[in-house]
Amino acid sequence: DAKTTQPNSMESNEEEPVHLPCNHSTISGTDYIHWYRQLPSQGPEYVIHGLTSNVNNRMASLAIAEDRKSSTLILHRATLRDAAVYYCIDGGATNKLIFGTGTLLAVQP
């Protein structure tokens, strides 16, 4: 079973920032935090990952709490194309990603 907990759904307005939370209550010291998303009728798509420090890439930012028990995926300006299910996953390796039910993000125009 998935080790993380996320809200079932969130809503955002287009061109506004979105903060997607995740709890990592059982994360260990060597576990990375990964975020993937799944657009409708597509395969999962990598978004971002990190270990301890906050991370930025062209898609999003990842804020990791100091105790690493929570993380937040930040989409700086949501677009309609960002409507998807977002999954946070923690684990020691990429070879076995355990997906939960994720957060369904709806973006309103």
Partner 1 sequence: EPEVTQTPSHQVTQMGQEVILRCVPISNHLYFYWYRQILGQKVEFLVSFYNNEISEKSEIFDDQFSVERPDGSNFTLKIRSTKLEDSAMYFCASSEMLVDTEAFFGQGTRLTVV
Binding residues for partner 1 (CB under 8 A)? 2, 32, 34, 38, 42-46, 49, 51, 87, 92-101
Nearer Cβ to partner 1 (14/31): 31
Contact 99, 44 (CB under 8 A): yes
Q: Which of 3, 72, 84, 96 is nearest to 37 (CA)?
A: 84
Shortest distance, CB of residue 106 to partner 1, whole angstroms? 17
Nearer Cβ to partner 1 (78/85): 85
Nearer Cβ to partner 1 (7/44): 44
The residues that bridge with 20 in the sheet, in sequence order, are 73
Q: Which residues contact 66 (CB under 8 A, 6 or more apart)?
A: none
Shortest distance, CB of residue 44 to partner 1, whole angstroms? 5
Nearer Cβ to partner 1 (74/97): 97
Beta strands 32-38 and 45-50 are: antiparallel
Burial of 99 from C-beta contacts in 10 A (0-12 / 13-18 / 19+): middle
Shortest distance, CB of residue 43 to partner 1, whole angstroms? 4
Shortest distance, CB of residue 12 to partner 1, whole angstroms? 23
